[in-house]
């Protein structure tokens, strides 16, 4: 028996994910962006706590205190209905951020599934799925989103009460973004799957008799997921931008719920009465999307396959 080949004992197991996170950690802009996002998420989630501690409200209207300038009790002043502007912004942020996150994740799951099937099974399945993807991609997205957001759901059989509820409005928005948003991820996934299909370790798994499910979940998807992660992160930002546009146009999030976009719904009138109120929501959107893009760009650089393996 040959003498065992010993490795340096101080070398610890370092997975590819660990290596990438190390690279990411050195990207200052990405870390900065990530921290901003965490901070934003934290603040938005603690709205009720803030309101309780400071005795202010982003929900209760007070028509005697409209358009107040910034003060100690209202850091950003009050809005056209007397509500605390900052609290309203945080509430809106909760909605906008969560929509961005959930819709991006939902699109990713759908896209991964469709893309992996297309790339793994190839042939007719691939052709059909890709034609379908192309079809969805060639539809005009903003008009279609407007239509889908403004549809009268009662015509589809839903009850009027359900349709009017805030929850329905929220989930409808998430749903339509997923409905139209999976195509990018599907293409990425398909490309990776096709490339991996002929790699030796996938062949080894097939030679072993591994089930299709195992091959996809253990071998293919983990190795194909990096571009999907980057794309999904950036998609968060895009969804936030589009949702705010829809709400601005009046078809997105409806009162009494708020999102940053819906706070800008009557912005053009606000420009005359109280300009800062029209500026703040957009500023918050800008900050958030910039942070997301910084982070996403950092991920892109960290996940560059150039650095890995060989």
Subset of residues 20 to 79 that bind another protein, contact rule: CB under 8 A: none
Q: Using the rule CB under 8 A, which residue among 21, 159, 286, 304 binds another protein?
A: 286
d(CA 39, CA 183): 31
Q: Does 124 bind another protein (CB under 8 A)?
A: no
What is the smallest separation between the CB atom of 33 and another protein, expressed in angstroms? 10
Q: Shortest distance, CB of residue 140 to another protein, whole angstroms? A: 6
Which is closer to another protein, CB of 72 or CB of 272? 272
Task: Let me know how long the chain is.
Answer: 310
Rg of the Cα atoms in the chain: 24
Closest approach of another protein to the CB of residue 244, in Å: 5
Min. distance of Cβ 161 from another protein in angstroms? 17
Question: In whole angstroms, how far apart are CA 152 and each of 141, 147, 162, 163, 300?
Answer: 19, 10, 12, 8, 40
Alpha carbons within 13 angstroms on the beta-carbon side of residue 72 total 0
For residues 161 and 208, which CB has a smaller minimum distance to another protein in the complex?
208
φ, ψ for residue 179, nearest 5 deg: -60, -40
* Of the candidate residues 77, 227, 237, 298, the single one contacting another protein (CB under 8 A): 237
99: tokens are 């929509």
| Residues numbered 132-151 forming contacts with another protein, rule: CB under 8 A | 134-135, 138-140, 142-144, 146-148, 150-151
- Rounded Cα distance between 179 and 146, Å, is 13
Segment 249 to 268, residues that bind another protein, using CB under 8 A: 249, 251, 261, 264, 267-268
Question: Least separation, in Å, of the C-beta of 98 and another protein?
Answer: 18
Question: What sign does the dihedral 187-191-192-196 (CA atoms) show?
Answer: positive
Contacting residue, 32, 45, 282, 300, with another protein by CB under 8 A: 282
Number of residues that bind another protein (CB under 8 A): 75
Q: How far apart are CA 278 and CA 283, in angstroms?
A: 9
CB of 259 to another protein, least distance (A): 12
Closest CB to another protein among residues 53, 213: 213
User: Which of 203, 212, 269, 304 touches another protein by CB under 8 A?
Assistant: 203
Instruction: Write out the binding residues for another protein, residues 102-121 only, by CB under 8 A.
Output: none
Q: Which one of 210, 229, 266, 301 is in contact with another protein (CB under 8 A)? A: 210
Residue 84's SS3 state is: strand
In the window 141-200, what residues touch another protein (CB under 8 A)?
Answer: 142-144, 146-148, 150-152, 155-156, 199-200
Q: Report the C-alpha gap between 262 and 285 in whole angstroms.
A: 12
- Cβ-in-10-Å burial (0-12, 13-18, 19+) of 261 comes to buried
Among 175, 173, 161, 179, which residue's Cα sits nearest to residue 261? 173
What is residue 78's three-state secondary structure?
Answer: strand
Segment interacting with another protein (CB under 8 A) among 37-45, 81-89, 113-121, 273-281? 273-281
Tell how far CA 51 is from the center of its chain.
Answer: 27
**Rule CB under 8 A: is residue 14 a binding residue for another protein?**
yes
Q: Which of 75, 128, 171, 201 binds another protein (CB under 8 A)?
A: 201
Looking at residue 76, the DSSP 8-state letter turns out to be T
């Amino acid at each position: 028996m040959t003498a065992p080949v010993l490795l340096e004992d101080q070398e610890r197991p370092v997975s590819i994910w660990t290596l990438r996170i190390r690279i990411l950690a050195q990207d200052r802009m990405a870390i900065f962006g990530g921290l901003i996002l965490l901070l934003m998420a934290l603040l938005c989630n603690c709205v009720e706590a803030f309101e309780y501690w400071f005795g202010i409200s982003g929900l209760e209207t007070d028509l005697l205190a409209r358009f107040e300038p910034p003060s100690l009790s209202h850091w950003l002043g009050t809005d056209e209905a007397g509500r605390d502007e900052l609290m309203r912004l945080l509430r809106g942020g909760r909605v906008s951020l969560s929509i961005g996150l959930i819709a991006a994740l939902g699109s990713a799951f759908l896209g991964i599934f469709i893309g992996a099937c297309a790339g793994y099974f190839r042939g007719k399945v691939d052709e059909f799925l890709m034609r379908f993807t192309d079809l969805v991609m060639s539809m005009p997205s903003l008009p279609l989103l407007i239509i889908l957001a403004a549809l009268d759901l009662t015509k589809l059989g839903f009850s009027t009460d359900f349709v009017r509820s805030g929850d329905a409005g929220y989930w409808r928005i998430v749903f339509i973004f997923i409905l139209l948003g999976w195509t990018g991820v599907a293409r990425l996934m398909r490309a990776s799957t096709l490339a991996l299909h002929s790699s030796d370790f996938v062949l080894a798994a097939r030679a072993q008799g591994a089930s299709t499910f195992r091959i996809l979940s253990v071998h293919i998807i983990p190795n194909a997921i990096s571009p999907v992660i980057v794309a999904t992160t950036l998609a968060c930002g895009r969804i936030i931008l589009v949702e705010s546009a829809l709400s601005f146009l009046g078809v997105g999030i409806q009162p009494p719920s708020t999102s940053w976009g819906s706070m800008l719904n009557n912005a053009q009138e606000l420009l005359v009465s109280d300009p800062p109120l029209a500026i703040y929501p957009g500023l918050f959107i800008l900050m958030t999307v910039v942070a997301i893009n910084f982070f996403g760009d950092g991920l892109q650089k960290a996940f560059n396959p150039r650095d890995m393996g060989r």
